[in-house]
Amino acid sequence: RGLELDEASRARVLACQDLGQLERWIQRALTAESALELFQSAETS
């Protein structure tokens, strides 16, 4: 989809060991307009 992650966001994803969180990020990545939106959604849910 062309969603680009900065180094900090990439490190956050790579460091995550919570499979549930990774699955939520994958689902949100389908519609998120930016990495910021992806992680803001994760923080508020």
Q: What are the structural domain ranges in the chain?
A: 7-44
| pLDDT, position 14 | 96
| pLDDT, position 38 | 84
Kindly report the number of other CB atoms within 10 A of residue 35's CB atom: 19
Give the separation between CA 16 and CA 6, rounded to whole angstroms. 16
Tens of pLDDT along the chain (45 residues) come to 688 899 999 999 999 999 999 999 999 989 988 888 888 865 554
pTM for the predicted model, two decimal places: 0.75
